[in-house]
Amino acid sequence: MKNIAKIVNVIHRLVEFVARGFFLFVAYLSGPAESQPPIKDLTLMHSATALALKIRKRQLSSEEVVKSYIDRIKEVQPILNCVTETRFEDALKEAKKCDELLASPNGPSAEVLAKEKPFFGVPFSTKDCIAVENMKQTGGLVARKDHRSDKDAETVRLMRLAGGIPIAKTNVSEVAMWWESTNYVFGTSKNPYNTRHIVGGSSGGEGCLQGAAGSPCGIGSDIGGSIRMPSFFNGVFGHKPSKGIVSNDGQFPNAETEDQHKLLAVGPMCRFAQDLGPMLEVLAGKNSDQLDLKRKVDISKLKVYYMEDDGGQILVSSVDPEIKESMRKVVTYLEKAYNIKAKKVNIRKFKKGLPLWFSCMATEPDKGFAFELSNRQGQINLIWEYLKWLSFTSNHTFVALITATFERFNFSHGSETQIKLKKECTELQQEFKDMLGDDGIFLFPTHPTAAPLHYEPLVKPFNFSYTAIINVLGLPATACPLGLNQQGLPIGIQVVGGLYQDRVTIAVAEELQRGFGGWVPPAVVE
């Protein structure tokens, strides 16, 4: 069996090599590579929490900040195509009201705002799948291209309550189930560091907008890596919270089963690690007490474990040497800075990461991906849709049709195989609980490669397993950028903590930002 797996992986590596050459040729034919324009407005270089402080102290007006981000979105959108809809006029009106409230004699003090409205006057963005009142919520489906939400998702409501101002919604993959953000409603989003490369998915447009300094902070969701992969590909920070902490209310598509609900998490995405904790505290609402986010973390007392790869899972790419090297640099940094002796481990069940995740994603036969593609109005006819796709008349992307097709070969909900795999999931969760406790972290690649070329995920569809297995665990995980590779594309790792120890992974993210620089901005023109 091992020999067969090795042969399959060798063949897969060969296919990857040939396909990369082909997709590179296609990329050259499509025109020259571009990247995000330089930053001309230094307001864009502040963290969301710094902006909130400056607004509270009247060093900047909310209207000035919102205008700066409107100008930046208008500048990057024609190049990157990451934004699906804006609310510039309404955002400016809300910003003016913030400024008027601050200027009024009976307005709240800076101290009161810091406590009750920590993001007062600060714009934020969110992925298309998360509802914002009166804005489109398509999920990348043509059948929903005109659908508008009648109320905010719970996370958006909480951000507004904290003083935040929604400014834009961002692109996703079709029905949020692929790791390249492309659909037939809004098109394909492009990487801010090199437009020939992808932005990830499904929160890909959000990761792209953050990487391009088009928003101070944003909201993403993650069922198999949809926050962490886009954060990794676009060089920003992203946090998948502990299971059950942040409300999933107001998403499309929402979770169909209790297992899916446990996999799915809504969380913050931002350029600066110091924004993660304050944002998560807002998004968690009444559950934030479980996280004790303000309690200081003594990094020198942490136990650190790591793996450089998943042990060789079948049909998954090998980890790029530069990503492995970045992992070693982090291990060395923690040892020199805090005298931490990191332990390299071998979690054997990680080689079954894909089957374990698919077992948790299993639904009833009539509630699968073909059901979602119909906008939950029955089932699409796959044969007919393939014929329409060949004649350029289908409303669905090829990868969506492929996903719906192969889902039919997935484990049946309630089958003996699924039950067995679910048991192994429980065993893996216990293994991590025993290993990490309340003071341990696990360092793991966020993805085996830097951002692939457009369409390249078609030949490496299972590479999302590096993030998906962490969803199975239900643990908090923070994607941390660690600079650019030799091709100028972002790379990094994810930091995983014990259940409800989100403050630990965020504290480590802040430390890695200090040690490695975090987000790499474009040139700044003063």
Catalytic residue among 54, 117, 127, 169: 127
Q: Measured between alpha carbons, how far apart are the two ends of the chain, in Å?
A: 61
Buried b (16+ CB within 10 A) or exposed e, 298-331: ebeebbbbbbbbbeebebbbebbebbbebbebbb
Q: Which run of H or E residues covers position 298?
A: none
Contacts of 147 (CB under 8 A, 6+ apart): 136, 137, 138
Residue 312 per-residue DSSP state: -
Whole-angstrom distance, CA of residue 163 vs CA of residue 117: 5
| Interhelix angle 382-390/398-407, nearest 10 degrees | 160
Whole-angstrom distance, CA of residue 479 vs CA of residue 235: 9
C-alpha distances out from residue 82 to 45, 86, 451, Å: 20, 11, 16
Indicate the length of the chain as a whole number: 526
Q: Minimal CA–CA distance to 245: which of 229, 261, 234?
A: 261
DSSP letters for 368-389:
SHHHHHTTSSS---HHHHHHHH
Phi, psi of 183 (to 5 degrees): -160, 175
Q: Which residue has the tokens 């020259």?
A: 32
C-alpha distances out from residue 506 to 271, 275, 500, 503, 509, Å: 13, 10, 12, 5, 5
The alpha-carbon radius of gyration of the chain (Å, integer) is 22
Catalytic residue among 62, 68, 125, 226: 226
Question: Does residue 127 have an active-site annotation?
Answer: yes
Contacts of 271 (CB under 8 A, 6+ apart): 47, 210, 211, 213, 216, 236, 237, 518, 519, 521
Whole-angstrom distance, CA of residue 503 vs CA of residue 277: 7
Question: Does residue 54 have an active-site annotation?
Answer: no
CA 219 to chain centre: 9
Contact, 451 vs 481, CB < 8 A? Answer: no
Taken in order 269, 120, 99, 131, is the CA torsion positive or negative? positive
Whole-angstrom distance, CA of residue 74 vs CA of residue 82: 11
Catalytic residue among 181, 202, 242, 465: 202
In sequence order, the β-bridge partners of residue 344 are: 306
Do the bridges between strand 440-445 and strand 303-306 make them parallel or antiparallel, or are there none, so unpaired? parallel
The structure tokens listed for 76 are 């990057």
Task: Give the residue numbers annotated as catalytic, written as ranges.
Answer: 127, 202, 226
